[in-house]
Structure 1
């Protein structure tokens, strides 16, 4: 699988998403330093919120194949300036989290990530499982076998197609 680094504000759902991607039981855990898991790098929200610490995020992107910018659907504003992904030399995907929250504004968060330059953009709920398999399929490399696939399906070439907004269509 491609290695993914997750970035976003505190409590936007980075660690919870990692737990969901790995199939773990979801429980609250405050990330206080950079955590390296098998194919995911988890970063503290303070790194994205503080301009002094944000420089470290740029360095950690070199250890990943894909950068994931997370934005909660409950956010009132976006940390990400327009076209910020042009600063990165890796593919940058957008991940709208907490889509199942009663106060979620999924389309607004999607538009902010689109404006930042993220392609594609995934909508996920770590608690319901919505969007989790789409991210795993995106990160999948030839020869990787996901838990729900047969050997034949794992070996079959697949096309990732996105619409004009960068959303994945399978």
Structure 2
């Protein structure tokens, strides 16, 4: 299975999605440092939010096969500038989280991800598991167990 690096703002759902993908009980857990799991690299939101820490994301991207840019469907803006995906020599996918929230606007979040250069976009609700299997299917490689 391909390894994916999650990046995005604080509280956009990176750790919750990591827990859902690993089949764990979903609970809030603040990520204080980079957590490297079997197929997921979970990064703190502060790395994407602060210029002085952003270089670490570039370094960790070399440890992954795929980069996942996460945007919560309730975020008021996007951190990602247009066409940023060309700066990474990995596949970059967009992931819209919190699609079940009453104030969610998944179309806007997906639009921001498309503007950033993501061509594949996944919609997830980590608490119910909606959309999680689609990401796992995307990460499967030939020869992986079904």
Same fold (TM over 0.5): yes
Specify the structure having the higher radius of gyration (Cα). 1
Output aligned runs, 1:12-23, within 5 Å. 12-23=12-23
State the Cα deviation string for residues 98-139 of structure 1 (Å, max 9, x = none): 001111000000000000001200000001111001000000
Count, aligned residues: 146
When normalised by structure 2's length, the TM-score is 0.98
| Structure 2: gaps of 5 or more residues | none
- Deviation of the 1:11 alpha carbon: 0.1
Output aligned runs, 1:49-128, within 5 Å. 49-128=49-128
| Structure 1: gaps of 5 or more residues | 146-153, 155-170
**Alignment partners' CA distance in 2, 1:32 and 1:118:** 27
Question: Which runs of at least 4 in structure 1 moved beyond 6 Å after TM superposition?
Answer: none
| More relative contact order, 1 or 2 (CA 8 Å, 6+ apart) | 2
**Alignment partners' CA distance in 2, 1:33 and 1:119:** 29
